[in-house]
Structure 1
Amino acid sequence: MAPRSVRTRTTLAACASVAVVLLVASAAAVLLVRANLERSAEADAREQAEVVAGLAADGRLDAFLPLDHGTDFVQVVDAGGRVVAAGQNLAGRPALTQGGQSSHDLLRGEHHQSVTTITAATPTGPITVHVGASLRTADDAEDVTRAALAVLSGVLVLTVGVLTWRATGRALRPVEDIRAEVAAIGDRDLHRRVPEPPSDDEIARLADTMNAMLARLEAAGTRQRRFIADASHELRSPLAVLRTQLEVALAHPDPQVRSDLVAGALEDTERLQALAAELLLLARLDSTGRTGRTGPVEPVDLAELVRNTVTARGAEAHPVTVRASAAVTVAGSPLWLGRLLTNLLDNARRHARNAVTVRLDTDRASGTATLDVANDGPAIEPGDREKIFERFARLDDARSRDDGGAGLGLAIARDIATLHGGTLTVLDTPGETTFRARLPTTPAPPADR
């Protein structure tokens, strides 16, 4: 079963990697040392064999030959296979076979030998010189090198294991602290944050990302709780009025009064129905924003949409002037874009003194369509220009209630603009209040020929 700890797996991987490298390096070092020592022994044996051959060629070859340091045996054999000279340790021994195997086996002992054979011409005929060099030094050096490398490799692998274990533990300690803190954070503790290490590395960036995510979760939870509280507050008042009207109508004996009360209750019911529809639309927009799917997308001619929407509204208390250029095409949902325009027109109608103006244009440089809905009502203070897009926000609460507004229209309009890749802002224009929606345009279809 594989170890589950990252620390353990990292330590084992580091030790295994170092062990493999040390094994290959040690084998190469041992082979190199032995090869160098064997070449040195062979060179010494060949040098002595050439000296003996030179003595034989000069006719100065003695029957008994001295052995140099590191030489196991020397033997000189004539063409007839007769031993004409040898070292004292081969005195009386028969001639060596090809390669010196017979006496070599007798004299080798516990160590390897390197046998060098050369042929030389002498006044009495050709001779063959066999010189056996001891590889005792090479064998001893190989044994010592192997033992030393084994000990050194073991120490290095152990050192690497200890250092990797400690370094990995130190590196992963902030991760464990982050994990423990995240595990302890519940849905009521979103204000808590994970500890951020002082280093500027991946773990520090992970902690920063986790804290940013927790901040977004906390903000989302706060918005959700505020939305629920605001929705409950908005529903409580019309429900209380509706219940009072129904109770009074049920108990009042005058049919005319009862009819008026029922008519008022019907108006409040319609207001509640509209509020419920807006709440459902906001929930749908929130869901669409989280999933990233905006539903069916098709080319929409904003100029035609503006004209149709204004015409369908009929006569207004304040006239609506439309200034739209030629076809302006955007990609999106005609239903939702129509709702965005309707909400902006409703807001402009509530606050206009005399007139409402709708302007539509395109910015070819940025590839955006600009939809402005302006009214000549009171200006919005700079500090309130973002607040008005909050849900259930009303700068004039009493007037908005009388006009039937719930403070959701602008919030819905901005959400729709955002889902279509655009923006909705308030401009500081002289003499009027202008809401500007920017939406990305799509290329116009080719004209028919």
Structure 2
Amino acid sequence: MDRKIQNEVKAKTRSFYRSVRARTTFAAVLVVSLALFLAGVVLLRNTLDAFDQAAMNLARTELGTVSIMLHSRDILNPLPAPRGDLGVQIIDSQGRVVASTGNFSGLGPITKIPPAQGAVNLTYTPPASNLHRRFVRDSNGVIVGAAVPVSSEGLSIVKFSSGATPDIGLPERSETPVLTTKKEIGPAAGNQKLASAKVYVFVWASLASREQSINAIETSLFVVFPLLVILVGLIVWFVTGLALSPVEKIRSEVSDISGSNLHRRVFVPQTKDEIAALAFTMNAMLDRIEVSTERQRQFVSDASHELRSPISSIRAELEVALLHPEATDIPQSLNAALDEAQRMQRIVADLLTLAKLDEKVIRPSLESVDLDEIISAEARRVRIHNQKIVDATRVSAARVRADRDQIIRVIRNLLENAARHSRSTISIGLRTIDYHGEASVELRIGDDGPGIAPEMREKVFERFHRVDEDRARISGGSGLGLSIVAALVELHQGTIEVSAEPAELGGAEFILHLPIDPDFADLDVESIQQIHT
């Protein structure tokens, strides 16, 4: 391929962002990124829920323990703290701290009494840098507590409403966890006997471990996920490039194939995939192009040779007449030139017909045609013009749907071909048969000539092919008659072939099959003959 054309092809088709490799990599990276993002969101959400549930369960357990102590009317101040991440305050109805765990010593009531339903009202506000409020809901979606940092160590609190502790077994229940005692007392050190009074129990559970775990997970996600996306992109880029490398090789080889080297073929990879199938199909296409181009070259060469012969004859006759007029029989020279001109005209007409058939320009005008009538007329013509004996006794009535003029040309060309090669006699047979499961008309035309060799039976339908070159030229054959017959028969969805067995007369026999007229397909031969008569 010309270098300029190659550059134009690359400029129009080679774009990085539009390449299959880039688009495939981008799509893979996009899908993996979305999948990892959704997985990260689900992971964080599940982790948060798990830590919240663990904190709620821990706070419920501690609340149950304190409730048992209150039922016994004995309470320690400070309250025993089984874990350092738990804090408890017992507040009376006057808002005074009755008792608390050691980690809350010295702190006043952190929430107002009575607390509002479904919310936490904190009187203690942590520094802004530690403020991180998070509400906690139960399985029914009701807010049962909230968590905020209350110290630099990340101590968080969880407050439960009445819906969170239905299994404590309190003697009375109100809007928040409430225990009723016989007397009201204030906070004091050591063991205390609670008087009859209403008190509120609050339990705080630290969420510091949750925050640390979430921070660790987020850090891992921000580091691992981008690296994983980059790794996927590199792998897809490499694998796609490896898979498409044969395509680039095929493209490069095809770009170097031109009319002068149609024998070349593209590389077929051994992968047995779609690319290998593409290469195999492209090679098959190049085979057809090479055969077609070779036929075209041969056709042009033969046409030039065929046309040069009558032109040379006409020129020779005219030159002799001009150089030696006194010794030239002018009428005879003119007749010879006219014969050559007519022969050249036939060749040109046949070439135009074949060109139109190749371009699918000629379309048959279908009608019901009586083949026996056409055969009778053409047989009479051969008897008169060619002085041959034509035996048509085996011609039966048959009708097909075809273009009348084109079928006449098919039969005329076959009979003229038989007349050129026969010694004296031509036989014609016509009948209706079952051909490959379909009702068809079979026409057989044989002669008593030398016949056709087995290796030549297919070639006789090629253009400018002659079994007997000199004899065909003398008789006026163009070498295109049987090629036109084959093309017209194919146009009518029929078949034509040379019989593998010699004709009854000893020469060649051509067998033509055409679909029968559907209106007469169910009639037998006798019925068709009665219709004709």
TM-score by length of 1: 0.91
Report the aligned-residue RMSD: 2.6
2:28 is aligned with 1:18: no
Residues of 1 paired with 2:97 and 2:281: CA distance?
A: 91
1:122–1:340 distance in 2 versus 1, CA, 3 Å: farther
Residues of 2 paired with 1:104 and 1:367: CA distance?
A: 104
1:92–1:333 distance in 2 versus 1, CA, 3 Å: same
Q: Report what 1:102 is aligned to.
A: 122
Q: Report what 1:306 is aligned to.
A: 375
Aligned-residue offset at 1:103: 5.0
Query: Is the 2:364–2:492 Cα contact (8 Å) retained in structure 1?
Result: no
1:82-119 deviation per Cα after TM superposition (whole angstroms, max 9, x unaligned): 43222231535036232543156445347554323533
1:105–1:134 distance in 2 versus 1, CA, 3 Å: farther
- Candidates 205, 223, 240, aligned match of 1:151: 223
Aligned-residue offset at 1:139: 1.1
1:361-387 deviation per Cα after TM superposition (whole angstroms, max 9, x unaligned): 242623443332222322211111112
2:146 is aligned with 1:119: no
- Candidates 235, 258, 269, aligned match of 2:307: 235
1:302–1:188 distance in 2 versus 1, CA, 3 Å: farther
Aligned-residue offset at 1:311: 5.0
Q: Which has the larger radius of gyration?
A: 2
Deviates more, 1:168-177 or 1:126-135: 126-135
Equivalent residue letter for 2:43? A
Q: Report what 2:88 is aligned to.
A: 74
Q: Report what 1:348 is aligned to.
A: 418
Output aligned runs, 1:281-300, within 5 Å: 281-288=353-360, 294-300=362-368
Query: Is the 1:250–1:258 Cα contact (8 Å) retained in structure 2?
Result: no
SS in 2 for 1:392: coil
1:62–1:366 distance in 2 versus 1, CA, 3 Å: same
Q: Report what 1:361 is aligned to.
A: 432
Output aligned runs, 1:125-204, within 5 Å: 125-204=197-276
Residues of 1 paired with 2:108 and 2:396: CA distance?
A: 122
The count of corresponding residues between Structure 1 and Structure 2 is: 443
Residues of 2 paired with 1:398 and 1:216: CA distance?
A: 32
Deviates more, 1:410-419 or 1:189-198: 410-419
Query: Is the 2:78–2:105 Cα contact (8 Å) retained in structure 1?
Result: no
1:165–1:426 distance in 2 versus 1, CA, 3 Å: same
Aligned-residue offset at 1:121: 4.4
- Candidates 36, 59, 68, aligned match of 1:54: 68
Query: Is the 2:90–2:98 Cα contact (8 Å) retained in structure 1?
Result: yes
Aligned-residue offset at 1:188: 1.2
Aligned-residue offset at 1:169: 0.7
Aligned-residue offset at 1:209: 0.9
Aligned-residue offset at 1:302: 4.8
- Candidates 388, 405, 415, aligned match of 2:487: 415
Residues of 1 paired with 2:249 and 2:486: CA distance?
A: 40
Residues of 2 paired with 1:427 and 1:417: CA distance?
A: 16
Aligned-residue offset at 1:149: 2.0
Residues of 2 paired with 1:325 and 1:102: CA distance?
A: 115
2:510 is aligned with 1:435: yes
Deviates more, 1:65-74 or 1:3-12: 65-74
SS in 1 for 2:158: strand
Equivalent residue letter for 2:178? T
Equivalent residue letter for 1:96? T
Query: Is the 1:249–1:262 Cα contact (8 Å) retained in structure 2?
Result: no
Unaligned residue ranges in structure 1 (runs of 5+) = none
1:248-303 deviation per Cα after TM superposition (whole angstroms, max 9, x unaligned): 22333448712111111111111111111111111111212xxxx65244234252
Q: Report what 1:38 is aligned to.
A: 52
Unaligned residue ranges in structure 2 (runs of 5+) = 1-14, 127-148, 162-176, 183-195, 524-530
Equivalent residue letter for 2:59? A
Query: Is the 1:252–1:258 Cα contact (8 Å) retained in structure 2?
Result: no
Equivalent residue letter for 1:108? V
1:297–1:56 distance in 2 versus 1, CA, 3 Å: farther
Query: Is the 1:374–1:435 Cα contact (8 Å) retained in structure 2?
Result: yes
Deviates more, 1:321-330 or 1:426-435: 321-330
SS in 2 for 1:200: coil
Equivalent residue letter for 1:359? L
Residues of 2 paired with 1:219 and 1:114: CA distance?
A: 88
Equivalent residue letter for 1:337? I
1:69–1:367 distance in 2 versus 1, CA, 3 Å: farther
2:79 is aligned with 1:65: yes
Q: Report what 2:442 is aligned to.
A: 370
Residues of 2 paired with 1:307 and 1:58: CA distance?
A: 132
